[in-house]
């Protein structure tokens, strides 16, 4: 059977365009691929369209809307997840309108499908005493405990995303003054993050213990499991939850759900609270848009306002009723 135009464009989009022109990471490309897997399964199972016969012209606004409704009702996806799926389709049809100008109008109709609005939750972060308790949990007498202590310290100190932490190699660490780590972030963008003295000291001991300072080991993963394989997202989360459980036993009132990304939020909030400018925080975290960084500033202002109100409640002014203003009342009645 002759390949369809859809199959050719999807293959080129995933294999060449995203990697070659957009320079996206393999994990991001896999996330894009998964959206097309879900879409093809939807067309096959819900619409009865044979995948090898599916054509570009059949993917229209009605089908995309039905696909999103299916994800919401059947797969119980959140609004954030729906928006991520739709953003992937937007990226594909933005690419397609250049490759197939005859489909420009259908592409633009799909691009006009808006992202769904949602309420942003408050930025979750750990207070300093809870963070200190977490970093003190690993048993430094055990090799895995020393690894966990370094991992948690680097995760907080660099504000790295969990994938950025996993991708770190021994060669990405420089412990000569000023100590720093080279982080490969979203969009394959590299940023250099400074390290605090305590973290640098822990890293030095960890690197010496695991012979990671040898030139032939520069490409080895910085953090590995007991089998010598690179840690995964699940592995990092398991380490965090194992030690966080002990912290929650010490602080029973701490009901907050903590993930590796919570330590990134915690670092960002501590920088903002320390008076670091948003431009520097943006570069430190690797944000593309400073609007993302402003979320921490708004959360910090709310915290200050709440603290001030606890100390000194704001007085309620005695504002007269508008009905007492006779001239204004007459004007409103005439209106």
Confidence of residue 125 (pLDDT cuts 50, 70, 90): confident
Tokens of 200: 């640098």
The model's pLDDT over 127-138, given as tens digits with 9 standing for 90+, comes to 888 999 999 999
Give dist(CA 181, CA 150) in Å, integer: 13
Amino acid 40: pLDDT: 95
The catalytically annotated residue of 22, 174, 186, 220 is: 186
For residues 211 and 217, the answer to whether their CB atoms sit within 8 Å is yes
Selected catalytic residue, list 9, 130, 146, 161? 161
pTM of the predicted model, to two decimals?
0.72
To the query of whether residue 227 is one of the catalytic residues in this protein, the response is: no
- The pLDDT of 213-233, averaged and rounded, is 89
* Separation of alpha carbons 238 and 259, rounded Å: 10
CATH architecture of 128-262: Orthogonal Bundle (1.10)
Q: Do 55 and 106 contact (CB within 8 A), yes or no? A: no
Write out pLDDT tens, residues 233-245: 999 999 999 999 9
> 């809307």: which residue's tokens?
65
Please say whether the beta carbons of 161 and 145 come within 8 A.
Answer: no
The token pair at 77 is 């996806």
Number of CB atoms found within 10 A of residue 236's CB: 21
**Could you give the 3-state DSSP secondary structure of residue 221?**
strand
DSSP code string of 162-197:
HHHHHT-BGGGEE-SSSPEEEEE-GGG-EEEEE--H
**pLDDT score recorded for residue 228:** 84
Active-site residue (options: 70, 130, 147, 287): 287
Q: What percent of the chain is modeled with pLDDT above 70?
A: 87
Q: Which residue has better confidence, 323 or 254?
A: 254
Active site residue 296: yes
Q: What is the pLDDT of residues 25-83, one digit of tens each?
A: 888 899 999 999 999 999 999 999 988 889 999 999 999 999 999 999 999 999 999 99
Q: Which residues pair with 193 in a beta bridge?
A: 181
Residue 121 annotated as catalytic: no
Non-local CB neighbours of 110 within 8 Å, separated by 6+ positions = 59, 60, 61, 64, 89, 90, 93
Q: Is 186 a catalytic residue?
A: yes
Q: Which residues of 25-49 are buried (b: 16+ CB within 10 A; e: fewer)?
A: beebbeebbebbebbbebbeeeeeb
Reported as a single tens digit per residue, the pLDDT across 195-216 is: 998 999 999 999 999 999 888 9
What per-residue confidence (pLDDT) applies to 128? 87
Catalytic residue among 264, 265, 267, 282: 264
**Residue 12 a catalytic site member:** no
| Average pLDDT of span 134-156 | 93
287 carries an active-site annotation: yes
Per-residue model confidence (pLDDT) at position 309? 63
Q: What is the mean pLDDT of the chain?
A: 86
CA atoms of 235 and 166, how far apart (whole Å)? 10
């Amino acid at each position: 059977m002759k390949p369809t135009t859809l199959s050719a464009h999807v293959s080129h989009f995933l294999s060449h365009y995203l990697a070659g022109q957009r320079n996206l990471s393999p994990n991001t490309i896999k996330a894009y691929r998964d959206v097309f897997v879900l879409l093809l399964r939807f067309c096959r199972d819900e619409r009865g369209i044979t995948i090898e016969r599916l054509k570009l012209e059949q993917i229209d606004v009605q089908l995309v809307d039905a696909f999103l409704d299916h994800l919401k009702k059947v797969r119980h996806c959140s609004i954030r997840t729906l928006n991520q799926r739709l953003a992937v389709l937007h990226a594909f049809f933005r690419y397609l309108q250049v490759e197939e100008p005859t489909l420009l109008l259908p592409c633009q109709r799909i691009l006009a499908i808006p992202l769904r609005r949602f309420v942003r939750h408050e930025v979750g972060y750990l207070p300093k005493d809870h963070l200190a308790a977490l970093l003190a949990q690993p048993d430094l007498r055990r090799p895995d405990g020393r690894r966990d202590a370094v991992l948690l310290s680097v995760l907080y100190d660099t504000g790295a995303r969990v994938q950025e932490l996993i991708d770190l190699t021994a060669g990405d660490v420089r412990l000569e003054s000023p100590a720093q780590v080279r982080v490969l972030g979203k969009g394959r963008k590299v940023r250099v993050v400074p390290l605090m003295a305590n973290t640098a000291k822990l890293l030095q001991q960890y690197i010496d213990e695991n012979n990671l300072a040898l030139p032939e080991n520069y490409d080895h993963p910085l953090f590995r499991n007991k089998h010598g394989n690179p840690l995964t997202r699940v592995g990092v989360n398991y380490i965090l939850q194992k030690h966080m459980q002990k912290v929650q036993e010490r602080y029973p009132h701490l009901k907050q759900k903590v993930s590796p990304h919570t330590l990134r939020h915690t670092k960002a909030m501590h920088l903002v609270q320390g008076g670091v400018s948003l431009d520097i925080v943006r570069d430190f975290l690797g944000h593309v848009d400073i609007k993302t960084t402003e979320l921490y500033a708004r959360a910090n202002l709310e915290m200050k306002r709440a603290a001030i109100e606890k100390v000194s409640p704001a007085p309620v002014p005695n504002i007269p009723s508008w009905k007492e203003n006779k001239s204004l009342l007459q004007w409103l009645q005439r209106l």
